[in-house]
Homo-oligomer: A and B are copies of this chain.
Amino acid sequence: MQLQASKYTIVNNDFLPATEASLKITDLGLQRGYGIFDFFKIIDGEVKFLEDHLDRFYNSAAQMHLPVDKTSDELKAMLFELMKKNDLPESGIKITLTGGYSPDGYTIAKPNTIITQQALMLNKGDITPGIKLITYSHQRQLAHVKTLDYLMAIWLQPLIKENGADDVLYHSHGIVRECPRANFFIVTQNNEVITTATNILKGIVRKQLLNIKDSGFTITERDITIEDLHQCKEAFITSSTKNVLPVIAIDGKAIGKGVAGDVSIQLAAKLKVLLG
């Protein structure tokens, strides 16, 4: 199925034809990879967890010394106008804030704001067969900020493919961190659900899962070791596009029975209710 193209993109205060949206090459995002973004999805025309995403967007900007020249309400008004113009009820919106047009190519200038919308074949919370991961020793820099830095993630794509895997799981000195665009969870033999706690980007779906009161499970934030991966019964990742996505193998070894586990399936169902 061909997805519908987005008609408009916002660059600063202008609604531009999406295919023409551009930035001058002096932008510090392009020159030095300096900028932040956030991404959220729209299901049946409704933005999911918008306040959480905007909170994180403003927090990322502040952490990176990037002033945002719009209030949250102004940004929302622009988002809603873009959604109306584009009319893509199943889609994702990405707000990017860059270091701006820097005269010396190094100093932060007035940030540029880009808002793009893209039609998506969205998983609305249904469970999928699961994915395979490889592990790789890497600690994301400024991990708690949603920066533009995906250098390692993209650089590792050939290695991921060579190993017949779908994504990479970063670890640092034996402590598991995250996937490039998703948080990581395990289920222990005692049905304890654990998600990594330190030096990670805290995702919005992760936060939603931690906040569910009646999940029937104890979800704990604490360090997961590489050793824990060999002992766990289930594993899954979470993200705005992936929801709860079972991990069925890591580094070529099956997790549990090598299929989506019961706890993962039940948590995916709980999340689906929230997304409803």
Contacts and interface: CB of A to CB of B under 8 A. Distances in A.
A107 B157 CA distance: 8
B33 A99 contact: no
Interface stretch (A16-24, A76-84, A182-190, A244-252): A16-24
Contacts of A142: 151-152, 155
Contacts of A11: 25
Given A24-B22, A25-B23, A152 B141 contact: yes
Interface in A7-36: 9, 11, 19-25, 27-35
Contacts of A20: 24
Interface in A132-179: 138, 141-142, 147-155, 157-158
B99 A32 contact: no
B23 A148 contact: no
Contacts of A93: none
Interface string A173-212: 0000000000000000000000000000000000000000
A4 to B, nearest CB: 15
Given A21-B24, A34-B155, A108-B157, 6 more contacts: A22-B22, A23-B23, A23-B25, A64-B155, A65-B155, A108-B154
B32 A151 contact: yes
Nearest to A22: B22
A107 B107 CA distance: 29
A98 interface: yes
Contacts of A152: 141-142
B25 A149 contact: no
Given A21-B25, A142-B151, A30 B32 contact: no
Contact of A99 (B28, B64, B154): B154
A231 to B, nearest CB: 29
Given A25-B23, A155-B142, A150 B34 contact: yes
A114 interface: yes
Interface string A76-119: 00000000000000000010101100000111100000101000
A40 to B, nearest CB: 15
Contacts of A105: 94
A150 B25 contact: no
